[in-house]
Amino acid sequence: MDALAEIRNIYFDECDEFIGLLEGHLAAIGDGRATPDDIHGAFRAVHSIKGGAGAFALTELVEFAHMFEACLDALRSGKVAVEDAPVDMLLQAGDVLNELIGAARDGRSVPVSPAIVKALQAMAGGKTAAPKAGDEIFLDDDEPAPAKAGPAAKPAASAAAPAPAAESAAARIKVFITPEKEFFRRAIDPRMIFEALKHLGEIEVTCDASKVPVISSLDPNDCWMRWVVEIETEQSREHVVEALESFLADEEYSFTDTEAEDDAAAGLDFHEAPKASGEIRSTDAHAPDAEAAPQGAPSSANASAATGAVAPPVVQRRASGGTIRVDLDRIDRLMNLVGEIVITQSMLSERAGVLAKREAASFVDALFSLARQTRELQDNVMAVRAQPVKVVFQRLPRLVRELERTLGKKAHLVLAGEDTEVDKTIVEELADPLIHMLRNSMDHGLEPPEERIAAGKAPDGTIRVSAEHRGSRILICVTDDGRGINREKLIAKAKSRGLLPPDSEPTPEEADNLIFHPGLSTAQQVTDVSGRGVGMDVVRRNVEALGGRITVESTPGRGCKFTLGLPLTLAVLDGMIVRAGTERFVFPLSSIVETMQLDPGSVEPLPGGRDILQLRGEIAPLLKLRQLLGIRAIGDEPIVVIVETETVPRLAIAVDEIVGQQQVVVKNLESSFRRVEGVSAATILGDGLVALILDVDALPALSQSGRKLPTMSETLGVAV
C-alpha cells in the first residue's frame, strides 16, 4: 500500500530526528547540565519511537524501546537520581535503538545484546522484567484485556456474584451501567455506549431515572441516571467489556446490580430525591433513549448555554501561532516558483529599457517595488527552509565522549553560535564534514595528556566549534589547542609520494593545506578514528561540490583551526554578469573583491605566456576570460574582476564588459548535463538566455593546465 509506505518513510525520518534529540538530551544529562526538559525530552523521544513502531508492528523495536523508556521514566519520576544515571549505558542503549530502527527500516532483524537488556532492566528496577514487555502496554485490539474482563476485578460487593464463564451461543448478558455524577461533563451521550453494544447483538435498554432530583434542584450537567442493558449475543462477556471500557470506568459498569446493594449498604442520600420519571423500557436502543438522555444530558451536539455561565475561565494560551510541518518538496516547489519570478522580473526590467521615456517612469517605479517584493518573498521562503545548526551541533558532545574513550584523551568541547540558521539542505550536508573535522582534531590535533603536560598545557584539550553568518555564507570553525600540523612531515611525505616536486618549498599555508590532499595522512599508525588518509580530501571534495570551501590555519605547538564556509542556500546567488566575446558569465558576488579598469601598464608578462597584474604593490595572476574560452579578438579586455579563490588570494580576470549585477537562480548542470571544469552551474538571464556561473576556485588550475573553458554549446551539448 502506497500511502502506508509513505507514512513508514515519514516514521523513519522522524526516528532520525528523535535519535538526534535523544543523544542531545542524554549528553546534557551526562555533563551534569541537564534540565527537566532534557529528561522529559529523552523520555518523549523514546516514547514516540515506540509509539510509531507499534503502529507498524515492529515488535523488536517496540520491546526494546519499552525497556529503554522505563529507564528514562525512572529518571523522570526521580526513582533514579539524575546524578546517578548510567549515561554511557543509556547512550549505548540509544545506539542499539538506532540500530534496531535501521534494521526495521531495511526489514532486517538484529540481535540485541543480553547485557544491555539486563542493564536496562536493572535500572528500571524490574519494571520491565516481563519477558514480552511490549504486550502489557499494547493491548491488542483483537484480544480484550483478560485481567479486567470479569466482575472479579470489580468492587468487593460484586465479588460474591458468580461469574458465568465464556458464553455459549446466544447468551443473554445483563450490564448495569452506573455512571458517575460527572458523566455528562465528559461529553458522553449514552447512546454511544448503546450503539457500541448493539454491534454485539440485540439489546434491550432500561433507564432508571428514579434518582433524578426535583427539577428545581437539578443541575442539568449532573447525571443521575442508570441504565440496565440486556444483550442477546453470541459474543463473550469480554467483548462487552471491550465495548464499554473505552467510555466507562471500571466502577461505572458491572454485570451484577451493585448499585442496589451499595444503596442499601451506604444509605446514599439520593433516596430523598423523589421519583422523577420511572422506567422507560425499550427494545430499540437509540430512539427512546434519545428521549431519556436529555433528562440531564447536554448531548454531544449542543452544549447548553447555561454550562458557559458556570464554567471556569477559559485557559489562557500564548498568542503566538503554533508550528506545522511541511514537506520539503512543497517548499522546493515554492522556491522554484520564486526563482521563476526572479527571472521574469529581470526580463521585465530589461524590457523597460526599450519603453518610451514617458511611459517608462511609472513602469520602472512599479518594477522597483516588484523587485523588492520578490526579494522579500524569496527571503521568506528561504526562512521557512532555514534550520539552526544546533540540529548538527547537538550530536557533537556525544562524539567527543566516544572519541575520548577510544583515544584515551580528554577534551573540553565548547559550542558557539548553535542558533545560526542555514538552509535545511546545507544543514544536512554539514554533518559529515563537521564530524570529520572534529575527529581529525581529536585524533591528530590534540596530544595525549602526558605530552600536553610536558608542553606546559592543561592535560585536557579544548575544541571549540562555532558557527556564524558572514555575508551570504555560513562559517563553521573547528579550533583545537593541540600540536598543530606537522609541516615538515607533511612536506616530506608529499615529496616522497611525488605529490610535490623534490625541490619545491611550499609556503606554510600551502604545506598545511596538503592535509586536504588525497592519500596523505601523517598519523603514525592508522587508527579506526581518522587515520585512513581518506578523510580530509573527501571532506574537501564534498564541501566544494556544495559551493563551499574549507581551509586550515595551523600554529605549530599551539593548535589548528579548520574553517568551513558554505553558502546559506544552494538555490539562488547574487551574481555579477560579465561578457567575454559574445558570451556572458556569472561570477558569484561573494567571491568578488573588486572590479577596475585594466591599466595595461600594470600588467607584467611572465615566461610561458602568463601575466601578472600589479595590484597596489601586490601581485595577482591575470587570466583572460576570452583566452580561457579560446576566443580570438583584437585588443585587451578593458575590465578586470578581482576575485578571491581558495588557492590564490587574489586572482585577476580580464573581461570585456560588466553587464550588471543581479540575483540569479542556480540551475544545476550535473543533474541534466555533466560536470564541467570551471563552471559550477548555469542560470537563465533576463533575456531568457542561459549563462554559466563560474567556479572561480577552479579557474587558476584550469588556466595553468592550458585547458579551455567550454563554450555554452559545448557545455550544454546543444546549439544555443
Partner 1 sequence: MRILAIDDTRTLRELLCRTLRAASYDVVEAENGEEGLARFADHRPDIVITDLNMPVLDGIEFTRAVRSRADGTGVPIIILTTESGAEIKAEGRKAGATAWMVKPFDPQRLLDMLTRFKK
Binding site for partner 1 (CB under 8 A): 3, 7, 10-11, 14, 40-41, 44, 47-48, 50-52, 54-55, 57, 137-139, 141-142, 145, 180, 182, 185-189, 191-192, 195-196, 199, 221, 245-247, 249-250, 286, 298-303, 307-308, 311-315, 317-318, 321-325
Minimal distance, residue 651 CB to partner 1, in Å: 48
Minimal distance, residue 105 CB to partner 1, in Å: 13
When the beta carbons of 112 and 243 are compared against partner 1, the nearer one is 243
5, containing H or E segment: helix 2-30
Minimal distance, residue 185 CB to partner 1, in Å: 6
Other residues' Cβ atoms within 10 Å of the Cβ of residue 614? 15
User: What is the four-CA torsion angle of 58, 59, 61, 66, rounded to 10 degrees?
Assistant: 130
Minimal distance, residue 322 CB to partner 1, in Å: 3
Q: In Å, what is the CA distance from 449 to each residue of 442, 452, 482?
A: 12, 5, 11
When the beta carbons of 50 and 409 are compared against partner 1, the nearer one is 50
Minimal distance, residue 516 CB to partner 1, in Å: 39
When the beta carbons of 237 and 239 are compared against partner 1, the nearer one is 239
Other residues' Cβ atoms within 10 Å of the Cβ of residue 33? 9
When the beta carbons of 271 and 325 are compared against partner 1, the nearer one is 325
When the beta carbons of 11 and 255 are compared against partner 1, the nearer one is 11
Q: What's the grid cell of residue 676?
A: 564541467
622 has which bridge partners? 611, 652
When the beta carbons of 43 and 176 are compared against partner 1, the nearer one is 43
Give CA–CA dist 54/134, Å, rounded: 9
Give CA–CA dist 341/359, Å, rounded: 23
When the beta carbons of 48 and 98 are compared against partner 1, the nearer one is 48
When the beta carbons of 17 and 340 are compared against partner 1, the nearer one is 17
Q: In Å, what is the CA distance from 530 to each residue of 447, 504, 519, 536?
A: 15, 28, 13, 9
Cell 420511572 belongs to residue: 278
Give CA–CA dist 279/209, Å, rounded: 7
Q: Which amino acid is at 307?
A: T
Q: Where are the beta strands (DSSP E) in 10-169?
A: none
Minimal distance, residue 587 CB to partner 1, in Å: 42
Give CA–CA dist 586/589, Å, rounded: 9
Q: Which amino acid is at 449?
A: P
When the beta carbons of 390 and 579 are compared against partner 1, the nearer one is 390
Chain length of the chain:
720
In 130-217, which residue ranges form alpha helices assigned H by DSSP?
133-137, 156-159, 190-198
Helices vs. strands in the chain: H and E counts, helices first:
24, 23
Assign 636 to helix, strand or coil.
coil
Minimal distance, residue 47 CB to partner 1, in Å: 6
In contact, 415 and 396? CB cutoff 8 Å: yes
Measuring CA to CA, which residue among 664, 619, 624, 663 is closest to residue 641? 624
Q: What's the grid cell of residue 662?
A: 543581479
When the beta carbons of 111 and 321 are compared against partner 1, the nearer one is 321
Q: Which amino acid is at 70?
A: A
